[in-house]
Amino acid sequence: MSNSTENAPAAHSAGAMEESRPSLSALLLDPSFWADWASVVGLVGLVIIFGIAQPVFLSVANLQALLLASAILVVLSIGQTFVVATSGIDLSMAAAVMLGAIILGLVNAAGYGIFLACVLALLATSAIGFLNGFIITVGKIPDFVVTLGTLSAVTGLGLILSGGEPTMVGSTFLLKLASGSFGPFGYPVWVAIAAVIVAHIVLYHTRFGVHLLATGGQAESAGALGIRTGRVKIAAYTISGLCAGIAAILLVARIGSAEPLINTSLLLNSVAAVVLGGVSLFGGRASILGPAIGALMLTALVNGLTLLSVSAFYQPLAVGAIVVLAALIMRYQK
Amino acid sequence: MSAPSSDAIIACQGLSKHFGGVRAFTDVAFQARRGEVTAVIGDNGAGKSTLIRCLVGVHVPDAGSIVFDGREHPFSNPDGARKAGIETVHQNLALIDELTVAQNLFLNREIVRRIGPFAFLDRKAMKREARSMLSRLSINVPSINQRVRRLSGGQRQAISICRAVGSGAKLVVMDEPTAALGVQETANVEALIRRLREQSVSVILVSHNFDQVRRLSDQIWVMRAGKMAATVRSAETSGNELVALVTGAA
């Protein structure tokens, strides 16, 4: 018997060998590859199309503006990713951003200083997330229903607190945060980059990350193996709330005031970015870079369409089409 | 039935469990010897599943004593049982489909490296350990980085057994480990259980399959209608005798 046939079974044993890599052509023909990399492929595709159609798109100034504009959505989609990884969904995110902004504005206007205002905003949005997770796990109510409820309740709370009036936030700290830059990127971009790095480490390099994916994959089995799935879920929602708080600070810094308005496109785009990033809505499967690039892609889409002088009315249409397309491709994910 | 011998890894006396008015079993004595495969057989409803659930802490017995590894009443919940050194291989609730083989093997007992106040996964160490755990039991999987979803039923069962053994458990409890498997896969899992026996791992095996039980175990305990009906050495019994004991014809 020849040597090669003798070796064939050994190549399938667990220990000895390195994992074999499929060839490039096989990779490109595999729908699963396109599903996993949908956001990257989409982003590269958009950059090429817009770059050809409108060369200004590729100018350094525009790319910097694009990154700046995407920072809030990147932070939100990271929070949403943690929740979706547990097979949940956080519909209250945009409402939490609004409440965080209003608390920031009110505390600052009351003269307690901008730092306390930011800390309280973060605490408030984290508390909303904690409450979401707590009601979902203890009350055993579907995620969708609970966060839909808090979406409405938190919106109401924001309107009551603010009296429906916007609060100006004239703070040099926030002005610097919004307009200052370090190296090639503005501070908000650095905040988003830091959030991506921290979230990536938490998801892939800590026990919590593995337990999060296990909880989302099969909560019952994870529980049988001793993982406290309730706590994991509450933690995921609290992280989502914290991300909403960071986004609230970035938002107030960007527009200079705290408005009692919900930006629903932020919520929908955060879910869209998560879907584009290849995160399974059934839980158990997630990445951080995917949704972050998904958020970049959605921002690039809006930015490019604006540069091409396409009416703003067409932008939601384009976003919707792309998200559904991505979901279709995702069906081929293995 | 005999008093617990000194080489018992787990022994219980006078154990009873009722659910409301329904009697699961009464006054049961049972023991499993260190380094042996101990089988529990019986008809549906004979009480064997409830007995096993009492042994691994899922249920707390109403009366009687459990001595595990020399300690009396060692635990009152599954987590306590696991900490004390009893690992259970569940029939269905065994593995997380979306995680890799290595991640499953170390789920909830991950190896971490501490840097200051933070603990980070030591993925290299876990992969290395996972490879050696699998090769020690001669379990073949395509890759330890593969998601469990893509493995066959037999491979999955082998991995969950490997997980239980690899945790350094003093006692591994398997509830119908081959119930959902095909012929070839059943043979593979049986071979794996035989290797555990050769390596003197203490195993409690619950099964419906009398031939399998005689092939794999050292000692067989027979439950009938909520009582421990008999116990025999596997080498000294026949399939007919087991059928008679289970049905009460003996």
Token output for A295? 């958020």
Look at A305-309, A320-324, B28-32, B38-42 and tell me which has the smallest mean pLDDT. A320-324
Asked whether residue A85 carries a pLDDT value surpassing 50, the answer given is: yes
Q: What is the pLDDT of residue A30?
A: 72
Q: How far is CA B153 from CA A174, A223, B182, in A?
A: 57, 21, 8
Higher pLDDT: A167 or A20? It is: A167
Token output for A244? 């909403």
Task: Say whether pTM exceeds 0.90.
Answer: no
Tell me: the pLDDT tens digits for B114-153? 988 899 999 999 999 999 989 888 888 888 998 888 888 8
A residues 223-242 closer than 8 Å to B (CB): 224-227
Q: What is the pLDDT of residue B250?
A: 63
Smallest CA–CA distance from A19 into chain B, residue: B143
Q: How far is CA A254 from CA A46, A99, A185, A186, B5, in A?
A: 26, 16, 15, 12, 76
Higher pLDDT: B1 or A330? It is: A330
Q: A211 and B108: CB-CB below 8 Å?
A: yes
pLDDT bin (cut points 50, 70, 90) of residue A221 is confident
Task: Tell me the average pLDDT across B175-191.
Answer: 86
Q: A217 and B97: CB-CB below 8 Å?
A: yes
Q: What is the DSSP string of B94-143?
A: T--TTSBHHHHHTTTS--EEEETTEEEE-HHHHHHHHHHHHHHTT---S-
Token output for A219? 């909560």
Tell me: the pLDDT tens digits for A263-303? 888 998 999 999 888 888 888 889 999 999 999 999 999 99
pLDDT bin (cut points 50, 70, 90) of residue B4 is low
Q: Rounded to an integer, what is the distance from CA A9 to the centroid of its chain?
A: 44
Q: What is the pLDDT of residue B152?
A: 85
Q: What per-residue string of b and e applies to A191-224 under the rule 16 or more CB within 10 Å gives b?
A: bbeebbeebbebbbbbbbbbbbbbbbbbbebbbb
Look at A104-113, A229-238, B224-233 and tell me which has the smallest mean pLDDT. B224-233
Q: Which of A21, A36, A221 to mutate against chain B (most B CBs within 10 Å)?
A: A221
Q: A214 and B107: CB-CB below 8 Å?
A: yes
- Round the average pLDDT of chain B to a whole number and report it: 87
Q: What is the dihedral of CA A323, A74, A44, A203, to 10 degrees?
A: -90
The Cα–Cα gap between B136 and A105 comes to 62
Look at A2-11, A310-319, B42-51, B218-227 and tell me which has the smallest mean pLDDT. A2-11
The label of the residue with tokens 């939490």 reads A96
The Cα–Cα gap between A206 and B165 comes to 24
In a 13 Å sphere around the CA of A249, the CA atoms on its Cβ side amount to: 26
Using a CB-CB cut-off of 8 Å, the residues of chain A touching B107 are 210-211, 214, 222, 225, 227
Angle between helices A60-85 and A207-217 (to 10 degrees): 70
A166 touches chain B (CB under 8 A): no
Q: Which of B107, B118, B120 to mutate against chain A (most A CBs within 10 Å)?
A: B107
Q: What is the pLDDT of residue A334?
A: 53
The Cα–Cα gap between A294 and A187 comes to 21
ipTM: 0.80
Vertex A54 angle, CA A77 and A269, to 5°? 15
CB B39 within 8 A of CB B221: yes
Q: What is the dihedral of CA B65, B70, B75, B78, to 10 degrees?
A: -110
- Min Cα separation B128/chain A (Å): 8
Q: How far is CA A12 from CA A218, A334, B139, B152, in A?
A: 28, 20, 11, 14
Q: What is the DSSP string of A122-171?
A: HHHHHHHHHHHHHHHHHHT--HHHHHHHHHHHHHHHHHHHHTT--EE---
Q: Which of B98, B101, B109, B115 to mutate against chain A (most A CBs within 10 Å)?
A: B98
Specify the amino acid at residue A147: T
pLDDT bin (cut points 50, 70, 90) of residue B93 is low
DSSP 8-class letter at B62: S
